[in-house]
Structure 1
Amino acid sequence: MTDESTPWATGLTVAGFVAAVTAVAVGVLSLGLIRVHPLLAVVLNLVAAGGLAPTLWGWRHTPVLRWLVLGAGVGVTGAWLALLAMTLLG
C-alpha cells in the first residue's frame, strides 16, 4: 500500500495559472470574433469546447493532468461568464 498524498498547494497553483491563461485566451479570441459576428463567436466557442471536452474528460484521473483539466474548465467557464456579463451590460 502506498501513501500518496494529494499536492493541493501545487495543484491548485497550476490550476489557477491555467485558468487565468485560458480565460484570457478565450476572452480575447471571443471578443475578436464578436466584432465579426456574435453568432460566429458562440458557434466557434461551442465547437472548440465540444472538441476538447472528450480529451479533457479522459485526463481527469491522471495525477498531473487533472490540475490542468480543472484550470481549463474554470478558465473557459470564467471567460464565458465574463463575456455574457459584458454582452448583457452593453
Structure 2
Amino acid sequence: MSLPRQCKDIDTAMVLRFLAQHQGHWSTWGIGYSMPTVADAMPPGTPPKLQLAKMRQIMRRGFSGGCDCGCRGDFEITDAGLAFIGELRTKPYNGY
C-alpha cells in the first residue's frame, strides 16, 4: 500500500472509530507521546501535515472538536461524528 497523499486517501470512519474508542480523553496528532494519537487510525507513514489536514476536514464537517492550529489538538468526537459511524456516546463530551 502506498502512502496517502491527500485527505481523501484516509478513511474518515476509521479516524472517527478511533476517537469513539477514546471518548472522554483528548487525542493528539503526530507522535502523541503519552496521549492517544489519531496517527494510529491513519495508514502507517501518513505525514504529520496530512494528519492535521484530515483532522481539519473532520472538524469542518462537525464530526470532531479540538484545535487545528497545529498545537497538540485535543481532538474529541462529537455527537455528529458518533452518528456518522452509528455509535453511542459512552462518556461525556468535553465540548469544543
Q: Give TM class, smaller chain.
A: 0.3 to 0.5
Question: What is the TM-score normalised by the length of structure 2?
Answer: 0.34
Which structure is higher in strand share?
Answer: 2
Q: Which has the higher contact order (CA 8 A, sep 6+)?
A: 1
Question: What is the TM-score normalised by the length of structure 1?
Answer: 0.36
Which structure is higher in helix share?
Answer: 1
